[in-house]
Structure 1
Amino acid sequence: MRHQNTAEQKSSATDLVSEADRTAEALIRDVLRRARPADSIVGEELAPRDGSSSVTWVVDPLDGTSNYLRGYPGWSVSVAAEHEGKTAVGVVYDPTHGLLYSAALRGATVNGRPIRVSATTNLASSLIGIGFSYDAADRARQGAALARALADIGDVRRGGSAALELCHVAAGALDGFVEDDLQPWDWAAGAHLVEQAGGLTAPLRRVSTHGVIAANSALWEPLHHAFGLGLSTGRTPSRS
């Protein structure tokens, strides 16, 4: 069922912001301000709020706005907490399916049940999540990279919410995820979930945006190679 919300274009005809995006972010910020008044907040839709503590909250109030507006499953709410620049907590909620993914520094869970990245070792039998830019020229470039990668990987899925796709990697439903045109609020919580579920992640840096690559350790190097990416050092969870 489509959600009847007023939507506006941002960078392109497919990059939308709805009334629900702004309302949700305002509500999340209000909760955080009441509970943690000294913390900073960075979100997708509203201006950053500077605080005096060493904690910054990174908020995507509705990741997958186009899906949400069309009534297509595949949207989420993503919140991460960074302490001195390092993610310490990541939470992603999938309202369509009632699934709450969460991770601090000792593993990841969904609705309280432990989750773990997949044990797939062969890229040819892997299932990889992908994402595309809102910019037409970038989509063409990404499509060409995907066309080359399809010779090496098993199959792909394009869900439309990077935060949720990263949760699927953390839970082992996907074996990896690649998207190179994102903002930190798109992947901050999801990447932390992958790391705490035993996987690897790394930012894919471009001029004005940071994407992310995520996978289990066995597929880390082959996935880079398939997409023509220079091998990056993956972040793993701290066990100290």
Structure 2
Amino acid sequence: MSDTDERAALAERAARAGARVAADAFRTDVPVETKGEDDVVTEADRAAQRTVIEVIRESFPNDAVVGEEADVSKRVPADGPAWIVDPIDGTHNYVRGMRTWGTAVAAVVDAEPVAAATVCPALGDVYTADADGAYRNGEPIRVSDVTEPRQAAVNPTLWWDHSTRDEYANACAAIVERFADMRRLGAAQVALPTVAAGGLEGVVSNLRANPWDSVAGVFMIRQAGGRVTDLDGDRWRHDATGLVASNGHLHDQMVAAARAIGSR
């Protein structure tokens, strides 16, 4: 097994382990805390992240780990191998008892993803990506072949805080004016794999994404034949401003929608 193959297998194994911890506490009376104005966290988030890291450390004890919750780095290293972890993406859904959430793990080398997994136990789906492609429940997936904007569904992703809530309204308007419909899943690391599997034509935001909210799903879309850029249409990186992901056919229209969010 190559190093990349080993990292792909480990990403899935670690994500599955973390997701089991989160699933055990789902729809229980797990206490909910706030971090910042609009964000929430639970002990399930922390326990799931600890479990993911424990699994990674068994095979790669010296690799850097970047994660959403406390006690790990928040910056993706420019050089060398690292792991990016979101123990529960979609915590707002999770604490409301809604099924749209997942545990995401990405393996990166020199800040570029080489493998990813997002496990959504309440939905019964496991998304993975490796050097050869992207998969849902072990079956290859591809982005949709929709070329007509009036047939496309688009997800506005990430979260606009209350001081910029007008941009959230702008995002909704920019999408419904250009495309057939809008879906907001409330979990970027579920929405992005959904684009990879053809369930959505795009995901757009004018914001800078945290790496744990984005890197795994971005890699899946690329491995499924899609395209992901920043607001300027340049290849997206973990430190880019804006996140525009599409099936490739409608990318210019997606970029236009994302740019319109902050310009109305």
TM tier, smaller? 0.7 to 0.9
The answer to whether the 8 Å contact 1:146/1:227 transfers is: no
Shift of 1:42: 0.5
8 Å CA contact 2:205, 2:258 repeated in 1: no
2:224 match = 197
More helix by share: 2
DSSP 3-state at the match of 1:8: strand
User: Quick one: which of 60, 66, 71 aligns to 2:86?
Assistant: 60
**Residue identity in the other structure for 1:19:** E
Structure 1 residues 228 and 71: CA distance shift in structure 2, 3 A: same
Percent sequence identity is: 35
The 5 Å alignment of 1:9-158 reads 9-12=34-37, 14-48=38-72, 54-158=80-184
- Secondary structure at 2:228's aligned position in 1? strand
Greater shift, 32-41 or 112-121, is seen at 32-41
Write the letter of the residue equivalent to 2:211.
P
Greater mean alpha carbon deviation, residues 41-50 or residues 60-69: 41-50
Matched, 1:2 2:2: no
Q: Distance in 2 between matches of 1:73 and 1:159?
A: 10
What is the CA–CA distance in structure 2 between the aligned matches of 1:19 and 1:123, rounded to whole Å?
42
| TM-score of the two chains, using structure 2 as the length reference | 0.79
Counterpart of 2:177, as a letter, is A
The corresponding residue for 1:237 is: none
Write the letter of the residue equivalent to 1:153: F
CA contact (8 A) 2:197 2:224 kept: yes
In structure 1, runs of 5+ residues without a counterpart are 231-240
CA shift for structure 1 position 91: 0.5
SS of equivalent residue, structure 2 residue 218:
helix
Q: Distance in 1 between matches of 2:169 and 2:210?
A: 20
**Distance in 1 between the 2:201 and 2:160 partners?**
24
Give the match's secondary structure for 1:198: coil
| Counterpart mapping for 1:171-210 below 5 A | 171-181=197-207, 182-203=209-230, 210=241
SS in 2 for 1:214: strand
CA distance in 2 between counterparts of 1:229 and 1:105 reads 34
Q: Provide the secondary structure at the position in 2 that maps to 1:139.
A: helix
Q: Tell me the amino acid that sits aligned with residue 223 of structure 1.
A: M
Q: Helix, strand or coil for the counterpart of 1:221?
A: helix
Give SS of 1:3's match.
Answer: coil
Shift of 1:213: 1.4
The count of corresponding residues between Structure 1 and Structure 2 is 226
Provide the secondary structure at the position in 1 that maps to 2:178: coil
The Cα shift of 1:149 comes to 3.3
2:111 and 2:105 map into 1 onto residues whose CA distance is 15
Amino acid at match of 1:222: Q
- Aligned to 1:227, the other structure's residue is in SS state helix
1:106-159 alpha-carbon deviations (Å, 9 max, x no partner): 110111100000000011210111125251122321212321332111100001
Contact 1:195/1:201, CA 8 A, preserved across alignment: yes
SS at match of 1:228: helix
> Could you say which residue in structure 2 is the equivalent of 1:234?
none
List gaps (5 residues or longer) in structure 2: 1-25
